[in-house]
Amino acid sequence: MQNSYKVTGTLTDGSTVELDQALPLRHTKVRLYIEPLLVQNPIPYAEVVAEIRRRQQARGHVAPTRAEVDAHLLQERSSWGE
């Protein structure tokens, strides 16, 4: 009798499933039974961003200024030719 495996994954488009864990199989044909899983109470985007900003503020995070980012990018890009 062949082994069977039960894993979860994400349907990334109409024909691709990205598994949450690797299977001990080589390149081979497999049979899939697809059962959509309902996400329990997904957190709204605005709440996620608010929580991230709250944690950043709590640890004293200071975002770089536009000038600092531009200077960093200029420095990084100038090193590409070396």
Per-residue pLDDT of the chain (82 residues; tens, 9 = 90+): 478 999 999 888 989 999 999 999 888 899 989 999 887 778 899 999 999 999 999 999 999 999 999 999 999 999 998 6
- What integer pLDDT is reported at residue 26 of this predicted model? 87
Assigned domain for 3 exists: no
Assigned domain for 68 exists: yes
Q: CA nearest 22: which of 34, 5, 37, 39?
A: 5
Assigned domain for 42 exists: yes
- What integer pLDDT is reported at residue 78 of this predicted model? 93
Assigned domain for 15 exists: yes
SS3 16: coil
Q: CA nearest 8: which of 29, 48, 39?
A: 39
Assigned domain for 71 exists: yes
- How many structural domains compose the chain? 1
- What integer pLDDT is reported at residue 82 of this predicted model? 63
Domain boundaries, position 68 = 9-78
User: Is the entire prediction scored with pTM above 0.75?
Assistant: no
How many angstroms separate the CA atoms of 12 and 17, rounded?
Answer: 6
